[in-house]
Structure 1
Amino acid sequence: MRYNRLVQLFLVLFILLSEIAYSQTLKNTAPEEAGLSSQRLARLENAMSDWVKNNWINGALVLIARNGKIAFHKAEGYNDLETKAPLDKNGIFRIASQTKAITTVAAMMLWEEGKFSLEDSVAKFIPTFSNQKVIATYNPADTSYTTVPAKRPITIRDLLTHTSGLGYAGIGTPMENAIYAKNWISGGLGVNNQKIGEVMSNLGKLPLFFQPGEKWKYSLGTDVLGYLIEIWSGMTLEEFFNKRIFEPLGMKDTYFNIPPDKASRLVNFFQADQKGVIKKQAKTFGGTLDMNYPLNKTTYFSGGGGLSSTIYDYAIFLQMLLNNGQYNGVRLLARNTVRMMTMNQIGDLFIDSATRPENKFGFGFSLITESGSRLAPNQAGTYSWGGAFSTTYWVDPKENMVVILYRQIWSPGVAEVDKVFKTLVYQAIND
C-alpha cells in the first residue's frame, strides 16, 4: 500500500512539475542555467562579428533556447550599412517559407476538430482539383504540353508532405515557372490584385508535374492548404492565425500586414552585386517584388510564405512544438499530433530528387534521420526549415533546444555562415 501511494504521489508531482514547465514563458537566463557554456558561446558571438567584418553578410540575429530558457539572443551587424544603424534584435523579418510551419499547425488543429481526413481528396473541398492531369511532354518554345490522367487524386496528406505533384511559381523549374506565369499563378508574396480562392481554384485546373505520391517536390501545396483552412474554419487565414495561434501564444509581432505603428521595425533587405558588394535593395526577383510588401495592405494570405515575424515570436511558436503542442498553459495540439508532424511521412522518397538522401520529411518540416545525424551535430529527430530571405531554424528534441538564425540578405556569404553555424551552436553545450 505504501509503495502504491508513493508511486501515486510521484506521478502527481511529475504532472504538476510538467504543467508548471509548460506554463512558463521563454525568458532570458544565464547560459549555464540552460546547460550551455558562456565561454564557448563567446565563440559564436565573435564569429557573428567576423561574418560582418568579412562582408559575408550585413548582419545576423541568433536566438538559442534550451530547456525552456533563452540562453543566447544577440544581434550583430547593421540594418543600414550607410548610416551604420545597428540590426535590432526586436526587428521584424520577412520569414517567407517559415510561414509553412504555422500553416501546418493551423491545419492540424482543424484536423483534430474533425474538419477533414488526411486521406480526403483536395477536390472534396476545391472542385477544380477533380480529374487532374499530369504532364507527359513539354515544349519550352511555346509552353505547350501533353498530359496523361493522374492515377489518383491529390490528398490533404500530399499537400502536407509536398508529394502532390504541384510545382512552385517563380522558384520552380523553368517549366513550372512558365506554365504558372502564363496562368497568373504566383509564389504568393506582394499579391494585391488577386483573391486566394480564385488563384487556388485556377491552380487546380492546371496539370501536375508528376503523379501524386510518387515524388517529393517543394510546392505551392501549403498555399492550397492555407486556402483550405479558410474553407474549413470560415475565417480568413489572417483571422485564424491571429485568433487561434498568435493571440493565445502571446505572439505579438507576427503579421501578414505589419501595422503602421510597427512599420519602422521592418528589417531592410540586402543583396550582393556581381562584385560581391552588399547593397540595400528596395526590390528583388528582377524588380518584380517590392520588399516593402509586408507594409502594403493585402488580403491575399499566402500560407506558404506571407508572414513576417520577430525571432522571439517564432521562438515561442517552436517552443510550443518542442513542448508537444502547448506553451504557457495553452494547448494548440495534442502530443501525438506533434509526433506525427515530426516523423518521416514520405517513406523511401528522397527530398529534392535525391540530392539530400539523408533527410526525410514530416508534415511541414524536414527531418534528420539516424544516418543523417552523422553529417552534422544535430541529433536524430531534429526538425527544421527556413525562409527564402535567409532565415532558418531547427528544433532538436533530444537536446531540448530551439535554434533560430535570422538574416535578410542574398549573398554568397550566407552559405559561408551556414557552413559553421551549427558547429558553433552545438560546441557550446556543456552538460
Structure 2
Amino acid sequence: MLAPSPASPESVGMSTPALARIDAHLKSRYIESGRFPGTQLLVYRRGKVAHSSSQGLADIERNVPVRDDTIYRIYSMTKPITSVAFMMLVEEGRVAIDEPVHRYMPEWKNLGVFVAGTNPTFLTRPPSRPMQIVDLLRHTSGLTYGFQQRSNVDAAYREKKIGEVEKAGTLQSMVEDLVKIPLEFSPGEAWNYSVSTDVIGYLIEKIADKPFEQFLKERIFDPLGMKDTDFHVPTDKAHRLAACYSADPQGGMTFHAGTRREGLTLQDDPKTSSFLSPPSLISGGGGLCSTTADYLSFCRALINGGELAGVRLLGPKTLKLMTSNHLPGGLDLPGLSRSLFSEATYHGIGFGLGFSVTMEPAKTLIAGSAGEYSWGGAATTSFWIDPAEELITIFMTQVLPSSAYPLRRELRTMVYAAITESNL
C-alpha cells in the first residue's frame, strides 16, 4: 500500500506555526515534565499528511527514541477494527445486527440480570428482552469491565480475570465464564463500556468459521498493507516495541532498574512483554499492537467511504450506519452511561457501531464537527476522523491510564485551531 504524500500545512488549509505549537506543547507539558516518555502525532487532511512528528523516548531505561516505525500497544483502538470486520460479514448477508446473540451462542439464551448477591451466589431476574448483536457493537449489552469497580458484577469479572490488560484464558473460556455472571442491566437500557467487542471477535470466529486473527489478517491487514499490526510482536520486530508506563500524577516513581522519572513507572518492559508471544486470548476489544502508519491506512479507508487504493472493506452506506448515533432514545453518552470510565465522556457525544460519534459539538465545549467519530486506547493512544473537514488525527504514546491527563481535549482544541480553511 502506497504511503500518503506529505504536503505543506498551508496547501491543505492548515497553519505550520499552529501545528508546531502542538509539538512544543507536547514537549514542554508532557515529555520534559516527565508525564510522557515520548509522543507521536500525525495530522492528515485533504488526502495529504499535513504534519508528522516523533518526540522523546520509546524506552526510557534503554534511551531508545520514538521513531516513525515504533510499535505501540493500541489496546481499545482494536475495537473499531473488530467492529469493521464484523460489519464486513453483515454486508455479505451472513449475519444481521438485530439478531439475538443466542442464535450464535445458545448457551447465552438464559442470561439473567443482577438483582443482589456476590459471586457465585447471585440473585437474578430475566432481562426485559434478549441481547441483540447491536447491543454488543454499541455497548448496551449489560456486560461490563472489572476495572469499573462499581458493582458486585464488576468484582466477579475481576475474580475471573475477564477483560484485563494482561489477558488470561481463551475467547472460548471467556464466553463460558460470562454465562456464569449476570448482566449489569437488561440489554438496551443503558450504556456501559465492556468486553462486548471481545464477544464480537468470538462471533466473527464462529460465523466466518476461521480464527478471528486469521480473518483480520486476510480481510483487513494484508489487503491494506498493515504489516506491523498483530496480536503480538514477532522477534524480528521486538526492538521496535515501545515500553509502557503507568502515570503517577502524585510524584515520581522508581523503576525496577533503579532509575527515576517524575510521574512514570515502568508497566510493561518491551524486553519481557507478554506481547512478544502469541496470546491465548485473541482480544478484539484490546489486543492489537500497531504503528501510526498502519493505523493511518485503516483510517484512510474509513474516511474514503470504506475503500483505499482499490481495497474495499465496506460500502459507504454501511460506514454511515456505523458512524451514526445508536444509543436508545438518541441520547448522548453522559445521558445513558453507567460507566465510571470510558474513552469518551463528553456531553454531545453518542456511540455508533464501534466508535464514539459527535452529535452536537457545542455541547462538548470543544471545537469539532457533527459526524466526527473516534476512540482511544488505555495507554493514551487515540484517533479521530472528521469527514466534514477531511481530517484524520492519530496520537501515540504508552502511558496508563488514558484518563490521567486531559491530553485528548487539548489535542482536539489545538488541531482544530490549526485549520485556516474550514470546509464548513
Would you call these one fold, judging by a TM-score over 0.5?
Answer: yes
- In structure 2, do the counterparts of structure 1 residues 133 and 187 end up closer, same or farther at CA, with 3 Å as the change threshold? same
Q: SS state of the match for residue 77, structure 1?
A: strand
Which AA in structure 1 matches 2:8? Answer: A
**What root-mean-square deviation, in Å, do the aligned CA atoms of Structure 1 and Structure 2 show?**
2.4
Residue 325 of structure 2 aligns to a residue in which SS?
Answer: coil
Deviation at residue 25 of structure 1 after TM alignment: 4.6
Do structure 1's residue 222 and structure 2's residue 197 form an aligned pair? yes
In terms of Rg, which structure is larger? 1
Q: State the partner residue of 2:8.
A: 30
Identify the residue that residue 396 of structure 1 maps to in structure 2. 386
Question: Match of 2:212?
Answer: 237
Superimposed CA distance per residue, residues 308-365 of structure 1 (whole angstroms, 9 cap, x where no aligned partner) = 1001111111111111100111111010000000011113344254564421110011
Partner of 2:25: 47
Structure 2 gaps of 5+ residues are: 253-261, 338-344
Return 130-139 or 242-251, whichever deviates more.
130-139
Answer whether contact 2:379 2:401 (CA < 8 A) is retained: no
Identity, in percent, stands at: 37
Equivalent position to 2:156, from 162, 168, 179: 179
Question: Could you tell me which residue of structure 2 aligns to residue 93 of structure 1?
Answer: 72
Q: Does 2:44 correspond to 1:65?
A: yes
1:231 to 1:416, Cα distance in 2 relative to 1, 3 A: closer
| Deviations 1:159-202 (CA, angstroms, capped at 9, x unpaired) | 011011111134453423321234x252154435x221232133
Contact 1:189 1:293 in 2 (8 A): no
Equivalent residue runs for 1:11-410 within 5 Å = 25-50=3-28, 51-138=30-117, 144-182=121-159, 184-187=160-163, 189-191=165-167, 194-273=169-248, 274-276=250-252, 277-283=262-268, 292-348=273-329, 349-352=331-334, 353=336, 356-372=346-362, 375-410=365-400
Query: How far apart in 2 are the matches of 1:291 and 1:392?
Result: 25
Q: How many residues align?
A: 401
In the alignment, the residues of structure 1 paired with residue 395 and residue 370 of structure 2 have an alpha-carbon distance, to the nearest angstrom, of 20
For residues 357 and 206 of structure 2, the distance between their equivalents in structure 1, rounded to whole angstroms, comes to: 29
C-alpha deviation, 1:79, in angstroms: 2.0
- Change in 2 beyond 3 A, CA 1:423/1:230: same
Name the structure 2 match of 1:12: none
Q: Structure 1: which 4+ aligned runs deviate by more than 4 Å?
A: 352-355, 371-374, 411-414
TM-score of the two chains, using structure 2 as the length reference: 0.88
Shift of the 427–260 alpha-carbon distance from structure 1 to 2, 3 Å rule, reads same
Instruction: Tell whether the 8 Å contact from 2:157 to 2:163 is kept in structure 1 after alignment.
Output: no
Find the residue that maps to 2:163 and give its secondary structure. coil
Tell me the CA shift for residue 417 of structure 1: 3.0
Unaligned runs of 5+ in 1: 1-22, 285-289
Q: Which AA in structure 2 matches 1:268?
A: A
1:25–1:327 contact (8 Å) kept in structure 2: no
| 346-355 vs 264-273, which moves further | 346-355
Counterpart Cα distance in 2 of 1:225 and 1:347: 20
How many angstroms does 1:283 deviate by? Answer: 4.4
Give me the whole-angstrom Cα distance separating, in 2, the residues matched to 1:413 and 1:167: 18
The CA distance in 2 between the partners of 1:415 and 1:351, in whole Å, is 20
Q: Deviations over 1:127-158 (max 9, x none)?
A: 1111221011245xx76431111121111111
Deviations 1:357-414 (A, max 9, x none): 4211100111111254661111111101100011111101111000011110137995
